[in-house]
Amino acid sequence: MKSDLTSRLKYGVSAVAVAATFTLAAQAAQAQETAMAEEEMMLEEVVVTGSRIKRKDVESVSPLTITGSEEIKFSGYTRMEDMLNTLPQLETAQTAFIANGATGTAQLDLRGLSPIRTLVLVNGRRLQPGGVFTNAPDINQIPAGLVERVEVVTGGASSAYGADAVAGVVNFVMDKNFEGVEISAGIAAYQHNNDNDYLPPLMDERGFEYPSGSTWGGEQYNIDMIAGGSFADDRGHVTVYANWRKVEELRQGERDYSSCALNSAGTSCGGSFNAIVPNFDIYPIDPDTGETIYTGTFNGVDANKFVTLTPDGGFTSALGNLYNYAPINHFQRPDERWSGGAFLNYEVNEYFKPYMEISFTRDRTVAQIAESGTFFAEEYHLSCSTPLLSAEQQAAICGDYGLGPDDEFAVYIGKRNVEGGPRQSLLEHNAFRIVTGSEGDISETWSYDVSFQYGSTSSSQGYVNDFFADNIRNAIDVTVDGEGNLVCVSGGDCVPYEVFTYQGVTPEQAAGLTGVGILQGITKEYIVNGYVTGDLPLTIPSASNPIQVVFGAEYRKEVFERLSDQVMEEGLLLGQGGPTVSVAGSYDVKEIFGEAIVPLVQDTDFAQDLSLELGLRFSDYSSVGSTETYKVGLNWQPVDMVKFRASYNRAVRAPNVTELFIPQSIGLWQGEDPCAGSTPELTQAQCANTGLTAAQYGNISASPASQYNGLFGGNPDLDPETADTWTLGLVANPVEGLRLSVDYWDIKVEDIIDTISEELAITQCGLTGEAVFCDLINRAPNGSLWLGQEGFVTATNINLGSRHWQGIDFTADYVMDAWDGGTFRADFTGSLLLKKFTEEIPGLESSQYDCKGVISTDCFASPKWRHTLRLTYASDSFWTASVKWRFFGSVNNPDVDEGLNAGIGSQSYFDLTGNFDINETLGLTVGVNNVFDKEPPMVGGSLSTNANTIAGFYDTLGRYFHATVTAKF
């Protein structure tokens, strides 16, 4: 049986895989070399990702990393993002391990420059935006069983594909030439031995529960069906596929290291002041002026009372009365996906070869987080004679303030709705994509490709079981009826909310307080593309091959429509974080583009090949006007075994629809207020710069959940981003069976479309007093940035400073004859990060920081070094065994000296896989990832992305067992 590599050469594309990463072999090295020599003579012209020129020189001028179908199969992952996020070139974005803030999509983040700067292609054409929650493509649409290979191109590719290719391109190449029928069924699950020694003592101090011993969960099931074949005397071919995937939930309470929410510093089990027994933040209202007194004293007593209830109905200090919201939160979201599609091509004649690609995906997931609460979201004014208060409570509040029965006091309430159950975000996406067109020859040396593409993703969200603001307000505005019973002043079905009675809230009361918010919308993408490619009747005298070119034009239109019901539009759900307003917008772009490969010198002693690559694209956006992108590359192969390559790319990314048009509204950000708490990080004078009074200094509480208010939204006046990308590398075959490449890359993006980090704004405002930071901070009258919604930090989209990333990628593979007629193969991919520099504000030194080898509130975990190494032995009989080593270098926090947030040590994970050909029809793949059940490194609440971890980046849930049975006919 021929190797996977040989099969790819037969279809004229395998040399790309040789140039980058690696597929698993199942025959001897000498046989492989012989097959390669035979096939190279038959190699047809191919298209390499990053260019549209057909060529026999399949070495890309840009660094290219490829993951083959067998690597995908051996990984055992049913989600493509889990597989690709193991590549050293990618960071994690939206994954199944995000609950609070989940969009329900799966995204790819190349180089950590954000998913919106990573262009995702399917067979060289754009994958449409993933819905109304994100403009980045959703790779839930990709059927893993039909992926022939995944090509990752580093550096700007905007001249070839247009905007968004700032960090590079991820191209999913599908097996459009599949023959026969294949059915695969798989099952996977996580197992973990709960033996953490850090969190249990902290939970014991709080009286929190946590699991022990071995636990299983998070099961995943998938069925993939593929069928393909030729028709009409081999003039046509069709491939159809369908797949189903179901993922079970796994909650944070099923792991000891996530059974409580660590505080910001990671030193204790935190939680929420929205507790089971409610907390109250109380202030007097001056009866003469009607103003709430937030600071200082009132009638000789402290104005602020932060209290909770005692079992006898009295008040005591609320400090320490926290709710452990972690256990009920999802660690892995449940998900069910159905998808199907087809690839069809037909050759009428050599001049007219129509084709079609069509796919549909329906994905539904549920993001569950802890029960709703009143969240101190609103300031309620209650009469001192309200029947909700006992006589003792009236005396403790109004009597102490010196207020009379007809006077009022102000109160923020923090009560968790444990009587009503958890909140859930029901997320559904329906994605449809169709590509139709024709390709063919114009002459012996020229060909064309013309296509139309339409992609749409409809999204919906039902946000259920959240407290409804108006219902709370009505339920605490009560009186007493003639029979002495509490009743709501508003009447109707309202049930009084007896929140001032110790454990007085009932499920019946809770049931009348929640509401449902509905959001739905659709994104649409229309693309018309046409180009011609061929050889010019022009050859440089020192070269033997002619100049190859591409000329083309493209029209693209992006449409975004989101409709919120009144509940979402006005932000009436207290756990919603702020209003989610309706919005609609669109833009279009008209482009012309061209490429050229110019052989300069060939077949000489110092240059078997020296060629120049050029690219140019002119774009006219309806939103931001005209832009130009271009590239220059140079390939030099002095001898057979060595090739050097270098390139420069100018990439331009125009703002997308959401960045331009999303209305501004209040939401939440994760981090710390350095002026909060009894011992603030900043001095009183520095905090005064942020709007804090002397009386408030040291007297405003920090959010125990590390969540603060922010004003977020779009900006129609945004300018495009520009990026300059340089690459320099070599590909070498120093000895037989060994192939390696080394590539240096440098990406600098200017006029970044982003927001100023909220915590950075507060800190720099305090330290510098600069208006560019201080103008963003809007403290509530009580000084808080999280109690109520009057206090917030503005973080709307603007064109900021720059980002400058540098690194070196290494790939190598070695294949050799092994014992008993088998084959041994070693595949290596590594990435060394040299620079990850951000300048938030142009020219402002205090806004500059480098994330290389750093984890902090400004920096995602960014190891200097990451690599994967797979060792595979393929016997000459029915079995193959493989082990993979995934390594993450250490990261340090320059702002913290000790504790969990001081940094993360290096991490190693080992995966084992076995593949067995039971007979000619049946195959079995089994394996376990993270063999040694290594726990994810823990961090405090200010750094965690979910469950005290960097979820989805490091292995999150323990051992991952998987098994797949495949039948081929």
Residues 927-942: tens digit of each pLDDT:
999 999 999 999 999 8
Residue range 74-93: average pLDDT?
94
Distance (Å, whole) CA 58 – CA 531: 20
Is residue 425 within 8 Å of residue 460, measured between CB atoms? no
Low-confidence winner among 308-322, 424-438, 696-710, 728-742 (lowest mean pLDDT): 696-710
For residue 455, list its beta bridge partners.
Answer: 433, 525
Q: Which of 48, 43, 35, 41 is nearest to 5 (CA)?
A: 35
Q: How far is CA 609 from CA 539, 739, 743, in A?
A: 14, 19, 19
Is residue 377 within 8 Å of residue 788, measured between CB atoms? yes
Residue range 522-550: average pLDDT?
96
pLDDT in tens, 712-760: 888 888 999 999 999 999 999 999 999 999 999 999 999 999 888 898 8
Answer yes or no: is pLDDT of 97 > 80.
yes
Confidence at residue 110, expressed as pLDDT on a 0 to 100 scale: 94
pLDDT band at 55 (very low <50, low <70, confident <90, very high): low
pLDDT in tens, 893-911: 999 999 999 999 999 999 9
303 Cβ contact list (under 8 Å, min separation 6): 283, 284, 293, 294, 295, 296, 297
Is residue 555 within 8 Å of residue 527, measured between CB atoms? yes
Residue range 302-326: average pLDDT?
94
Q: What share of the chain is helix, strand, coil (3-state, %, to 5)?
A: 15, 45, 40
pLDDT in tens, 642-700: 999 999 999 989 998 888 888 888 888 888 899 998 899 999 999 999 999 999 999 88
Q: What percent of the chain has pLDDT over 70?
A: 94
CA 31, distance to chain mean position in Å, is 43
Output the DSSP codes for 5-29: HHHHHHTT-HHHHHHSS-----S-H
Confidence at residue 665, expressed as pLDDT on a 0 to 100 scale: 81
Answer yes or no: is pLDDT of 815 > 90.
yes
pLDDT band at 151 (very low <50, low <70, confident <90, very high): very high
State the pTM of this model.
0.88
Answer yes or no: is pLDDT of 41 > 60.
no
Confidence at residue 57, expressed as pLDDT on a 0 to 100 scale: 52
Answer yes or no: is pLDDT of 39 > 60.
no
Residue range 518-544: average pLDDT?
96
Q: Could you tell me the two tokens for 699?
A: 């007297």
Distance (Å, whole) CA 136 – CA 654: 14
Answer yes or no: is pLDDT of 543 > 90.
yes
Q: Which of 639, 644, 612 is nearest to 542 (CA)?
A: 612
pLDDT band at 1 (very low <50, low <70, confident <90, very high): very low
Average pLDDT of the chain is 90
pLDDT in tens, 953-963: 999 999 999 99
Answer yes or no: is pLDDT of 966 > 90.
yes
Residue range 4-9: average pLDDT?
33
Residue range 88-94: average pLDDT?
94
DSSP E strand stretches across 195-314: 213-231, 236-247, 250-251, 279-284, 297-298, 301-302, 305-309
Answer yes or no: is pLDDT of 912 > 60.
yes
Confidence at residue 20, expressed as pLDDT on a 0 to 100 scale: 33
Confidence at residue 950, expressed as pLDDT on a 0 to 100 scale: 96
pLDDT in tens, 609-620: 999 999 999 999
Residue with the larger pLDDT of the pair 632 and 1: 632
Amino acid type, 252 = Q
Q: Which of 180, 157, 276, 266 is nearest to 230 (CA)?
A: 180
Buried b / exposed e along 567-581 (16+ C-beta atoms within 10 A)? bbbbbbbbbbbbbbb
Q: How far is CA 575 from CA 510, 583, 591, 646, 715, in A?
A: 15, 21, 44, 52, 26
Confidence at residue 427, expressed as pLDDT on a 0 to 100 scale: 97
Confidence at residue 259, expressed as pLDDT on a 0 to 100 scale: 97
Residue range 506-523: average pLDDT?
94
Distance (Å, whole) CA 24 – CA 825: 7
Confidence at residue 9, expressed as pLDDT on a 0 to 100 scale: 30
For residue 828, list its beta bridge partners.
Answer: 812, 869
Answer yes or no: is pLDDT of 131 > 70.
yes
Confidence at residue 50, expressed as pLDDT on a 0 to 100 scale: 77
Is residue 453 within 8 Å of residue 435, measured between CB atoms? yes
pLDDT in tens, 835-850: 999 998 888 888 899 9
Is residue 84 within 8 Å of residue 77, measured between CB atoms? no
Count the neighbouring beta carbons within 10 Å of the beta carbon of residue 619.
23
pLDDT band at 790 (very low <50, low <70, confident <90, very high): confident
Confidence at residue 197, expressed as pLDDT on a 0 to 100 scale: 94
Confidence at residue 255, expressed as pLDDT on a 0 to 100 scale: 97
pLDDT in tens, 798-813: 998 999 999 999 999 9
Output the DSSP codes for 296-317: SEETTEES-EEEEE-TTS-EEE
Low-confidence winner among 26-35, 44-53, 372-381, 450-459 (lowest mean pLDDT): 26-35
Is residue 199 within 8 Å of residue 259, measured between CB atoms? yes
Tell me the Ramachandran region of residue 820: left when phi exceeds 0, alpha when psi lies from -120 to 50, beta otherwise: left
92 Cβ contact list (under 8 Å, min separation 6): 81, 85, 109, 945, 950, 951, 952, 953
Q: Which of 675, 753, 756, 666 is nearest to 710 (CA)?
A: 666
Residue with the larger pLDDT of the pair 101 and 410: 410
Confidence at residue 45, expressed as pLDDT on a 0 to 100 scale: 60
Amino acid type, 467 = F
Confidence at residue 22, expressed as pLDDT on a 0 to 100 scale: 32
Residue range 859-882: average pLDDT?
96
Q: How far is CA 878 from CA 870, 881, 917, in A?
A: 20, 11, 5
Residue range 256-283: average pLDDT?
94
pLDDT band at 12 (very low <50, low <70, confident <90, very high): very low
Q: Which of 925, 804, 811 is nearest to 868 (CA)?
A: 811
For the chain, the structural domain boundaries read 258-331+372-419+490-515, 672-705+758-794
Residue range 121-132: average pLDDT?
94
Low-confidence winner among 19-23, 189-193, 455-459, 817-821 (lowest mean pLDDT): 19-23
Helix (H) or strand (E) holding 169: strand 168-174
Q: Could you tell me the two tokens for 351?
A: 């001049």
Answer yes or no: is pLDDT of 454 > 80.
yes
Buried b / exposed e along 858-870 (16+ C-beta atoms within 10 A)? bbbbbbbbbbbeb
Confidence at residue 156, expressed as pLDDT on a 0 to 100 scale: 63
CA dihedral 193, 198, 201, 206 (to 10 degrees): -100
Distance (Å, whole) CA 443 – CA 448: 10
